[in-house]
Amino acid sequence: MLLLFGLKTVLRALPGRHSLCRYCGQYVEQHLEERASKFTVFFIPIFTMSRAYRITCSNCGQRSSLSKQGMKALAR
């Protein structure tokens, strides 16, 4: 029997937030992005193995990763 399994990375844009950028020091819109690694069987996502968040400044374009706690703090 042939079993086809693998990993798939799914990118999802989240609603942006205004916050202070740590690089340029401006209070501007920050783009949020969720990157999820999913375990697939026959190319169908079964479960999420890991989840990471990334924030991009709309002023200077610098990117930094966010922890789940940092993401929750930003959502408030």
- 28-54 core/surface letters (b: 16 or more CB in 10 A; e: else): eebbbbeebebeeeeeeeeeeeeeebe
Of 5 and 23, which has the nearer Cβ to Zn ion? 23
**Judged by CB under 5 A, which stretch of 8-16, 33-41, 49-57, 65-73 contacts Zn ion?**
49-57
**Under rule CB under 5 A, which residues in 2-21 are in contact with Zn ion?**
21
Of 11, 64, 66, 9, whose CA–CA distance to 34 is shortest? 11
Using CB under 5 A as the binding rule, whether residue 55 contacts Zn ion is answered as: no
Q: Which residues bind Zn ion (CB under 5 A)?
A: 21, 23-24, 57, 59-60
